[in-house]
C-alpha cells in the first residue's frame, strides 16, 4: 500500500512540474495554447498571470519532493499528506471556478494519492 501511495504521490508531483512548465514557459507557445485551449490573443494577455499560477504549481511539486527527502517517516508522511491535500483542494476549487476538467485531470491522481496515503497509514497501525 505504501508503494502505491508513493507512486501516486510522485505522479502528482510530476504532473505539477509539467503544469509549471506549461504555465511559466509554454503558455504563449502552440503547445501551451493547445493544452489550455487558448487563443493567441488571450495567451499573450494572460501570460503574467499564468506564470504566477505556474510558480504556485511548482511550490506544490517542491513540497512533495521535499516530503520524499525527509528522513523521519512520520514527518515525511505528514508533509506528503499536506501537499497532496492542497492539490485536491486546488482541483476542487478549479473545478468550481474554471472547469470540471481540472478536477478530472489534476484531482483524480491527487484523490487517489490521498486515499492511498490514508490507507497506508491505517495499514501501518494494524
- Are residues 60 and 16 in contact, defined by beta-carbon separation less than 8 angstroms? yes
Q: What is the DSSP string of 19-31?
A: HHHHHHHSTTSHH
pLDDT one-digit tens code per residue, 53-103: 999 999 999 999 999 999 999 999 999 999 999 999 999 999 999 999 999
In this prediction the pTM is 0.92
Q: Is the dihedral of CA 38, 52, 65, 83 positive or negative?
A: negative
Q: Cell 481540472 appears where? A: 102
Q: What's the pLDDT at 125?
A: 65
Q: What are phi and psi of 44, to 5 degrees?
A: -65, -45
Report d(CA 85, CA 92) in Å as an integer. Answer: 11
Q: What's the pLDDT at 81?
A: 98
Residue ranges of the domains in the chain? 2-125
Reported confidence tier of residue 121, pLDDT bands at 50, 70, 90:
confident
Using DSSP, how many helices (H) and how many strands (E) does the chain show? 6, 0
Q: What's the pLDDT at 126?
A: 55
Q: Side-chain half-sphere of 86: how many Cα atoms within 13 Å? A: 17
Q: What is the DSSP string of 73-106?
A: HHHHHHHHHHHHHHHHHHHHHHHHHT-HHHIIII
pLDDT one-digit tens code per residue, 21-58: 999 999 999 999 999 999 999 999 999 999 999 999 99
Confidence check: pLDDT of 114 > 80: yes
Amino acid at each position: 500500500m505504501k508503494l502505491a501511495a508513493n507512486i501516486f504521490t510522485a505522479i502528482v508531483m510530476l504532473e505539477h512540474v509539467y503544469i509549471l512548465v506549461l504555465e511559466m514557459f509554454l503558455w504563449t507557445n502552440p503547445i501551451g495554447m493547445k493544452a489550455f485551449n487558448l487563443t493567441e490573443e488571450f495567451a499573450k494577455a494572460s501570460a503574467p498571470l499564468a506564470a504566477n499560477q505556474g510558480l504556485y504549481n511548482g511550490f506544490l511539486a517542491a513540497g512533495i519532493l521535499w516530503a520524499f527527502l525527509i528522513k523521519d517517516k512520520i514527518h515525511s508522511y505528514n508533509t506528503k499528506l499536506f501537499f497532496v491535500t492542497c492539490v485536491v483542494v486546488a482541483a476542487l476549487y478549479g473545478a468550481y471556478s474554471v472547469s470540471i476538467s481540472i478536477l478530472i485531470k489534476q484531482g483524480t491522481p491527487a484523490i487517489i494519492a490521498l486515499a492511498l496515503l490514508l490507507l497506508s497509514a491505517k495499514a501501518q497501525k494494524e
